[in-house]
Amino acid sequence: NAGVTQTPKFRVLKTGQSMTLLCAQDMNHEYMYWYRQDPGMGLRLIHYSVGEGTTAKGEVPDGYNVSRLKKQNFLLGLESAAPSQTSVYFCASSYGGPGLAGDNEQFFGPGTRLTVL
Amino acid sequence: QKEVEQDPGPLSVPEGAIVSLNCTYSNSAFQYFMWYRQYSRKGPELLMYTYSSGNKEDGRFTAQVDKSSKYISLFIRDSQPSDSATYLCAMSRTGANSKLTFGKGITLSVRP
């Protein structure tokens, strides 16, 4: 069981470049999330998905797009990177949503450190 | 006012100390309360989980929720250098569309 994996681990982009971050989970989880973590800001939700083929906006969605074509994968895209998107990006997955009783623990990946110059 | 406030720290204690970490919140609809632990350059991992008010104990860790004061705490007894990490509180409402709201995290260092 690999859990939640993220690709790549590190990346440096120039302003205006695009890239896709890949998240994969092997726990058959329905819910998947993308967060960003910045010093002094904590974890902020970018986008999330409640099942294959679904996506929804989180707290800070501007400048990002996502897709969930397969249940095990959740992609985060940056179409035109900006220095303000320099951050550590975490993907997470859970069986149920955070507001539901039962098995709703979010499992996090190791993170992707992105620098936009 | 932020929905979840957490003391920014950092916090440094000697080995064996009792550590108290706290968060306050403003949304009275929050019902699920969690503490995540994050080691340096790693993803967060769930440490404690509590529904509604009350205490929950797991080994050296105790999570406490006081909904009347909108205040949650994590106590670590007999702290160890391996407890050195960032601790994030998180909470959510009930319901299928609710989301986790995280505190900013506090970095704890336990000195040998």
Query: What residue has token string 């989180």?
Result: A58
pLDDT, tens digit only, all 117 positions of chain A: 789 999 999 999 999 999 999 999 999 999 999 999 998 888 999 999 999 999 999 999 999 999 999 999 999 999 999 999 999 999 999 988 877 766 688 999 999 999 999
CA distance B100 to chain A (A): 6
CA B96 to chain CA mean position, Å? 23
Question: How big is the A-B interface in CB pairs under 8 Å?
Answer: 65
User: How would residue B1 be classed by pLDDT, with cut points 50, 70 and 90?
Assistant: low
Residue B54 pairs in a beta bridge with B65
Asked if B103 lies within 8 A of A42 by C-beta distance, the reply is yes
Indicate which of A32, A93, A104 best probes the interface with B, i.e. most B CBs within 10 Å of its own CB: A104
Indicate which of A21, A30, A32, A37 best probes the interface with B, i.e. most B CBs within 10 Å of its own CB: A37
A99: contact with B, CB 8 A cutoff: yes
Q: According to the model, what pLDDT value does residue B41 have?
A: 93
For B74-106, how does the pLDDT look when each residue is reduced to its tens digit (9 = 90+)? 999 999 999 999 999 999 988 877 889 999 999
B100: contact with A, CB 8 A cutoff: yes
Three-state secondary structure along chain B? CCCEEECCCCEEEECCCCEEEEEEECCCCCCEEEEEEECCCCCCEEEEEEECCEEEEECCEEEEEECCCCEEEEEECCCCHHHCEEEEEEEECCCCCCCCEECCCEEEEEEC
Query: Are A23 and A74 within 8 A, CB to CB?
Result: yes
Mean pLDDT of B66-80: 96
Query: Are A96 and A10 within 8 A, CB to CB?
Result: no
Q: Name the residue among A41, A99, A110 with its Cβ closest to that of B32.
A: A99
Record the tokens describing residue A103, joined without a space: 């098995």
For B35-45, how does the pLDDT look when each residue is reduced to its tens digit (9 = 90+)? 999 999 999 99
Residue A34 pairs in a beta bridge with A47, A91
Count of helices and strands (H, E) across chain A:
0, 11
Q: Name the residue among B49, B98, B102 with its Cβ closest to that of A99.
A: B98
* Chain A residue with minimum CA distance to B50: A101
% of chain B residues with pLDDT over 70:
99
Alpha-carbon distance B35 to B102, whole Å?
Answer: 9
Record the tokens describing residue A92, joined without a space: 């997470």
Chain B residues in contact with A58 (beta carbon < 8 A): 99
Residue B81 sits at φ, ψ, to 5 deg, of: -55, -30
Alpha-carbon distance A60 to A49, whole Å?
Answer: 15
CA distance B3 to chain A (A): 12
B84: contact with A, CB 8 A cutoff: no
